[in-house]
Amino acid sequence: MTDASTTARSAATSTTTLSIILAVSFGHLVNDVMQSLLSAIYPILKVNYGLDYVQIGLLTFTFQVTASLLQPAIGMYTDKRPMPYSLPVGMGSSLVGLIILGFANSYWLLLLGSAFVGLGSAIFHPESSRVARLASGGRHGLAQSLFQVGGNAGSALGPLLAAFIVLPRGQWSVSLFALGSLVGIFVLWRVGRWYAAHRRANAGRMPASTALLFDRRTTAVALVVLTVLTLTKNAYMASLSSYYTFFLIDKFAVGVQDSQLLLFVYLGASALGVFLGGPIGDRFGAKFVIWFSILGVLPFTLALPYADLTWTVVLTVIIGLIFSSAFSAIVVFAQELMPGRVGMIAGIFFGFAFGAGGIAAAALGALADVTSIEYVYWLCSFMPLAGLLTVFLPEMRHKVR
């Protein structure tokens, strides 16, 4: 290859890196807007179908477990056989799920729509996380946080869109957001073209080393700790995203639309936290962010069950900001532990995040039915104590960049 062609390729890469990260972040936003609409319309579904909290939890369980069971398998498969054009296919599955949810006339169809949305997430996350890392230029924390902040922004927008579009018009209007997914399919198709071109351009290079940074026992312990931290973090976050509106309505007599707006405020703070976690991790290391995020949020979760409405809003903003910064650091730390297995790690941790949240949503819903929403939030307030397990994570031999 000539020096001129090498220079041209380097220039093309430098000009497309940020645009590709932003493109997959936008795809993540669209994907998570669609999936967040499910939890955002729970108050409507509860009234229309006479659902109890267990049935509400099972909807979340169906969506998230569908994603969690498939994501690791898809990630492992695409580590060996990358599928650049799987991204728009995943978006198409979520589109189908939204249409089913909009026109469902039975609880079983609601479950089917939830499963299609979960399938779309399972296909989307492993390959899009890989694309973000490929386009990172070595700044893995920043790329991962930009990618993830798109998803959190989408999750935050879902309740807002539900409050001003779905609630006034009813369940059928959920299907209107399938139009936005068409834009997402177009954008992700172009990302797939970049990804395919990147693979062709690097076809002759030696594959990246898959040698472990640490011995197998240290690596296994670290992965178990990261898994437990992901479980506790997402169980708590699921308690807020699934039942926060009901908590506000039951405890403070807040209206449905106002509760959706306050859910948007919380999810918006979570999106900001995800964004900040990546660059901080690049600067100070992923382990520092994990320490600060999971254990640092404990005083605020302990105070939440005893707060009035004003302080509830303030505390949930702080909790969302701090707690959500951990996930990009957890993913980057795990990917550094297991070089060359980006898709598998993304699939496991994104999938496990979904699955843990789904199982927690169903279990907490059952607990709320026999106790109260207030009791659930009191119990969940102790979950960040798991952050103490961070002490068992190894120190990286080199700073994550």
More confident residue, 155 or 253: 253
The answer as to whether 113 is a domain residue is: yes
Cα 259 from Cα 1, distance rounded (Å): 60
Domain membership flag for residue 230: yes
Whole-number pLDDT of residue 207: 56
The domain total for the chain is 1
Q: What is the pLDDT of residue 189?
A: 93
- What's the CA angle centered on 137, arms 133 and 141, to 5 degrees? 55
In a domain, 310, yes or no: yes
User: Is residue 350 a part of any domain in this protein?
Assistant: yes
**How many Cα atoms are found within 13 Å in the side-chain-facing hemisphere of 199?**
16
pLDDT for the residue numbered 6: 41
Determine the Cα–Cα distance for residues 57 and 313; give it in Å rounded to an integer.
23
d(CA 195, CA 135): 9
The Cα-based distances of 135 to 9, 104, 164 in angstroms read: 13, 40, 36
For 258, residues 6+ apart whose C-beta sits below 8 A from its C-beta are: 248
The crossing angle, in degrees rounded to 10, of helices 326-337 and 216-252 is 160
Q: For residue 209, what pLDDT is reported?
A: 60
On whether residue 208 sits in a domain, the answer given is: yes
pLDDT, average across residues 56-76:
79
Decide if pLDDT at 323 tops 80: yes
Residue 156 lies in a domain: yes
| Among the ranges given (6-15, 74-83, 355-364), the one the predictor scored with the smallest mean pLDDT | 6-15
Residue 183 contacts by C-beta under 8 Å, 6 or more apart in sequence?
Answer: 30
What is the residue-averaged pLDDT of the chain? Answer: 81
Q: Given this model, what pLDDT does residue 312 score?
A: 93
Average pLDDT over residues 228-254: 83
Supply the range of the domain harboring residue 292.
14-392
Judge whether 397 lies within some domain.
no
Using pLDDT thresholds of 50, 70 and 90, give the confidence band for residue 17. confident
Q: Any idea which of 23-32, 162-171, 378-387 has the lowest mean pLDDT?
A: 162-171
pLDDT at 72: 78
Query: Does 400 map to a domain?
Result: no
Mean per-residue pLDDT for 265-273? 83
Closest CA to 294 of 229, 377, 360: 229
CATH code of 342's domain? 1.20.1250.20
